[in-house]
Amino acid sequence: MAKHKDTEVQEHEEMVPAHSESDDEANARAADRAAEGAEQSPGGAGDPKDQLVRLQAERDALFDRLARQQAEFENLRKRSAKEQADFREYAVADTVKQLIPIIDNFDLALKAKSNEADLRKGLELIRKQMDELFTKLGVQAVPAKGEPFDPRFHEAIEMVDSSDVKENHVVDELQRGYKLKDRLLRPAMVRVSKHK
């Protein structure tokens, strides 16, 4: 009997499209089927054949509802996954679009035949553009030089003797660290002071 029910469920799942009638319509249809069965069979409402026909109609209606709801759920899951993928793709596209003018300025600086002072000035302007873009995106530099060493934000690559800086403070920043809001993107690589 269980195998027969599983086969019926599979048949209903394959046959019912996701956009079929509402639950109220399905219940009305099941009641109509039960009433038709009662009219066709001899005997009254208490007749076991009538009850069997009514229960089979209700069962069929429930299988139909289940199959429709499963199809709707699957469609919703697929649509949600596609929307998330699109959002990620276009979020990256927006950031890249903001980087393009900066790359253009790098290209202009590399093509320009200018002296060292002009090249430096151009690179400083490009650096300023990058800082403005980072601020707009919520990216911040990790404070390092002169700060107390914090292993959550700093990566110490060397301990150096220094009487000018307090012990266990950052003497020098070798590579800047960055945070996106509260999330660390990259720790700052630093030298840390120690006293003899």
Domain span at residue 158 reads 139-196
| Domain contains 118 | no
Specify whether the CB–CB gap between 133 and 94 falls below 8 A. Answer: no
3-class DSSP assignment, residue 127: helix
Query: What is the tally of structural domains in the chain?
Result: 2
**Overall average pLDDT of the 39-61 stretch:** 78
Give 25-34's long-range contacts (Cβ < 8 A, gap of 24+). Answer: 26/61, 26/64, 26/65, 26/68, 27/61, 29/61, 30/57, 30/58, 30/60, 30/61, 31/57, 33/57, 33/60, 33/61, 34/58
Q: Give 142's DSSP letter.
A: P
Q: Last residue of a domain, which of 83, 103, 127?
A: 83
| Domain contains 32 | yes
pLDDT at 34: 55
The domain that holds 155 is classified in CATH as: 2.30.22.10
Instruction: Give 31's pLDDT tier (boundaries 50, 70, 90).
Output: low
pLDDT at 71: 95
Q: What is the pLDDT of residues 132-175, one digit of tens each?
A: 999 998 999 999 999 999 999 999 999 998 888 889 999 999 99
The tokens of 109 are what? 């600086």
Higher pLDDT, 21 or 49: 49
**Overall average pLDDT of the 99-115 stretch:** 85
Higher pLDDT, 47 or 10: 47
| Residue 63: how many other CB atoms lie within 10 Å | 19
| Domain contains 112 | no
75 plus 146 within the same structural domain:
no
Tell me the pLDDT of the chain averaged across its residues. Answer: 81
Q: Last residue of a domain, which of 65, 83, 101?
A: 83
Asked whether residue 65 carries a pLDDT value surpassing 60, the answer given is: yes
